[in-house]
């Protein structure tokens, strides 16, 4: 990124030009990078600048979306509309599902795992070797024993390996005279590097030997893809999940990180409340961004369900094209069925830097977000062909 000048905050107030110049430089830099942003799962193809007038007010959605709060400076009706749309998409009971707009997919993951921890306080947390690193952070925050489960050839959690791990812990509990501890599972719908989808029904069956199960679907990137892809893999509340999280700034596109967390109301843990807020609060945060809720609503309202479906199909076509183009470039691409992530041989450092590629070991990946064009893919492949190895 380019330098933005002296950003030191001084004792005296700064004038408009002093404040505006570095911010406009940042905007120009971000716009310049947009065509080369291929390696990370964020959709840059949106424009909600007409909502700029909202920056003149505070919008704080404190407490649960279903009730207003004492402060009254909220946009909770917009949040409820967003949650309602996601609830319907995720197969939740419209009258019996709790949800809220989160600050990120990782917050939604933590929310779901916290609910599992409250249900099953002695249960280990099982996650695949390719789960997002935020699962490890959540395990430490919640003080849960993390059991890493190997993946199968497709990159999804291996149900047989999960069954073996649960059975071994159940056997140890039985021998020591303790009650079954159960299992909390972090299933991934769209792993970070490969885009693999864990088989939710198979994982639930595999973990049954542990006793009671709480299965969270981390569908940050892959949930919307799964909902509209031809193969329609299981990902939602009707298909085996006890809680679920989806990102809003990834496939949909939004100027601020955000997401949605969902859970059947009957599984909500009890939480402390305060009279002065004027609302119950099952969220992880107290003050929450009402602006994010409005922006997500604007984006969804403008697209409609049909538009979101079209976005997914566009991404799938781009991924098809990228897979073929990278094969012609000799980059050994791989892609899971109906995935929008294409992995390939790790290219030279200059190529990785120019195209903002995420890498792991000997592989890199391209995420076919809506802003990724065929021209960009072709340019990437030309750079790969013209450069030395990693």
- Residue pLDDT, tens place only, 334-373: 999 999 999 999 999 999 999 999 999 999 999 999 999 9
pLDDT tens, residue by residue, 126-180: 999 999 999 999 999 999 999 999 999 999 999 999 999 999 999 988 888 888 8
Rounded CA gap, 372 and 37, in Å? 8
Sheet bearing 363-367, strands edge to edge: 341-345, 363-367, 358-360
State the first-to-last Cα distance of the chain, in angstroms, to the nearest integer: 23
Residue 163 dihedral angles phi and psi, to the nearest 5°: -60, -45
| Mean pLDDT, the chain, whole residue set | 94
In this prediction, residue 62 carries a pLDDT of: 92
Sheet bearing 213-218, strands edge to edge: 97-102, 259-264, 243-247, 213-218, 183-188, 125-128, 146-149
Closest by CA to 104, choosing from 359, 371, 289, is: 289
List the single range of 128-132, 179-183, 215-219 with lowest mean pLDDT: 179-183
Q: Does position 36 have pLDDT exceeding 90, yes or no? A: yes
Q: Does position 4 have pLDDT exceeding 70, yes or no? A: no
List the single range of 33-47, 165-179, 180-194 with lowest mean pLDDT: 165-179
Rounded CA gap, 388 and 390, in Å? 7
Residue 293's contacts (CB-CB under 8 Å, 6 or more residues apart) are: 59, 61, 65, 75, 76, 78, 79, 82, 101, 258
Kindly report the pTM of this predicted structure: 0.94
Q: What is the pLDDT averaged over residues 62-68?
A: 91
Neighbours of 313 (CB within 10 A): 13
List the single range of 62-76, 201-215, 290-304, 358-372 with lowest mean pLDDT: 62-76
Q: Does position 390 have pLDDT exceeding 80, yes or no? A: no
Q: Which helix (H) or strand (E) holds 139?
A: helix 134-142
Q: Which two tokens stand for residue 85?
A: 């749309």
Across the chain, where does the E strand assignment appear?
A: 97-102, 125-128, 146-149, 183-188, 213-218, 243-247, 259-264, 341-345, 358-360, 363-367
Q: Does position 247 have pLDDT exceeding 60, yes or no? A: yes
């Amino acid at each position: 990124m380019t330098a933005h000048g002296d950003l030191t905050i001084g004792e005296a107030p700064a004038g408009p030009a002093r404040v505006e110049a570095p911010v406009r430089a940042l905007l120009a830099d971000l716009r310049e990078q947009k065509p080369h942003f291929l390696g990370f799962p964020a959709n840059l193809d949106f424009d909600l600048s007409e909502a700029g007038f909202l920056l003149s007010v505070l919008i704080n959605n404190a407490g649960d979306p279903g009730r207003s709060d004492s402060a009254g400076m909220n946009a909770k009706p917009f949040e409820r509309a967003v949650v309602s749309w996601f609830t319907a998409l995720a197969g939740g009971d419209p009258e019996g599902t709790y949800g809220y707009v989160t600050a990120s997919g990782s917050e939604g993951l933590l929310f779901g795992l916290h609910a599992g921890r409250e249900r099953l306080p002695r249960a280990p947390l099982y996650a695949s070797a390719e789960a997002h690193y935020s699962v490890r952070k959540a395990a430490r925050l919640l003080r849960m024993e993390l059991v890493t489960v190997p993946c199968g050839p497709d990159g999804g959690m291996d149900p047989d390996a999960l069954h073996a791990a649960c059975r071994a812990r159940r056997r140890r509990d039985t021998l020591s005279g303790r009650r079954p501890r159960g299992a909390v599972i972090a299933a991934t719908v769209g792993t970070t590097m490969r885009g693999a989808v864990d088989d939710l029904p198979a994982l639930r069956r595999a973990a049954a030997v542990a006793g009671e199960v709480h299965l969270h679907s981390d569908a940050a990137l892959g949930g919307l893809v799964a909902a509209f892809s031809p193969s329609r893999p299981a990902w939602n509340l009707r298909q085996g999940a006890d809680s679920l999280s989806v990102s809003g700034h990834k496939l949909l596109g939004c100027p601020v990180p955000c997401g949605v967390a969902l859970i059947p109301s009957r599984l909500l843990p009890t939480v402390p409340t305060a009279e002065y807020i004027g609302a119950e609060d099952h969220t992880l945060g107290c003050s929450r961004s009402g602006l994010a809720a409005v922006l997500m609503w604007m984006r969804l309202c403008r697209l409609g369900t049909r538009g979101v479906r079209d976005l997914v199909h566009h991404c799938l076509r781009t991924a098809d094209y990228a897979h073929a183009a990278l094969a012609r470039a000799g980059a050994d691409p791989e892609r899971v069925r109906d995935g929008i992530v294409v992995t390939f041989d790790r290219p030279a450092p200059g190529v990785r830097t120019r195209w903002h590629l995420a890498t792991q070991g000997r592989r890199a990946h391209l995420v076919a977000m809506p802003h990724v064009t065929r021209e960009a893919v072709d340019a990437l492949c030309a750079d790969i062909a013209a450069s030395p190895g990693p």
